[in-house]
Amino acid sequence: MFEIVVITVIKVSVVMMAILTGCAYSTWLERKVLARMQNRVGPTYAGPFGLLQPVADGLKIIFKEDLVPKNAEKVMFALAPIVTFVPAILTFAVIPFGADRILFGHHVKMVISDLNIGVLWIFAVTSLGIYGIILAGWSSGSKYSLMGGLRASAQMISYEVSYGLSIIGVIILANTLSLTEIISKQSSDSIWFFENWYIWKQPLGFFLYLTCAIAETNRAPFDMAEAESELVAGYHTEYSSMRFSMFFIAEYANMLAVSSVGAVLFFGGWNGPVLPSILWFLIKVFLFMFFYIWLRATFPRFRYDQLMSFGWKVLFPLALLNTMVTAGFKMIK
> Amino acid letter at 188?
S
Instruction: Specify which residues 106 forms β-bridges with.
Output: 103
- Cα–Cα dist 21/316, whole Å: 35
* C-alpha torsion angle, residues 155, 311, 231, 23 (rounded to 10): 70
Instruction: Tell me what pLDDT residue 310 has.
Output: 93
Q: What is the mean pLDDT of residues 154-169?
A: 90
Whole-model pTM? 0.93
Which positions ≥6 away from 1 have C-beta within 8 Å? none
pLDDT tens readout for residues 62-73 = 888 888 888 888
Instruction: Tell me what pLDDT residue 272 has.
Output: 87
Neighbour count for residue 308 (Cβ, 10 Å): 18
Mean pLDDT of the chain: 89
Instruction: Tell me what pLDDT residue 1 has.
Output: 66
Structural domain spans, the chain? 2-332
pLDDT tens readout for residues 202-234 = 999 999 999 999 988 888 888 887 777 777 777
Instruction: Tell me what pLDDT residue 109 has.
Output: 86
C-alpha 38, offset from chain centre: 25
- Cα–Cα dist 320/178, whole Å: 23
pLDDT tens readout for residues 117-158 = 999 999 889 888 888 888 998 898 888 888 888 888 888 888
- Cα–Cα dist 130/139, whole Å: 14
pLDDT tens readout for residues 80-115 = 999 998 998 999 999 999 888 887 777 788 899 888
The pair phi, psi for residue 107, each rounded to 5°, is: -80, 115
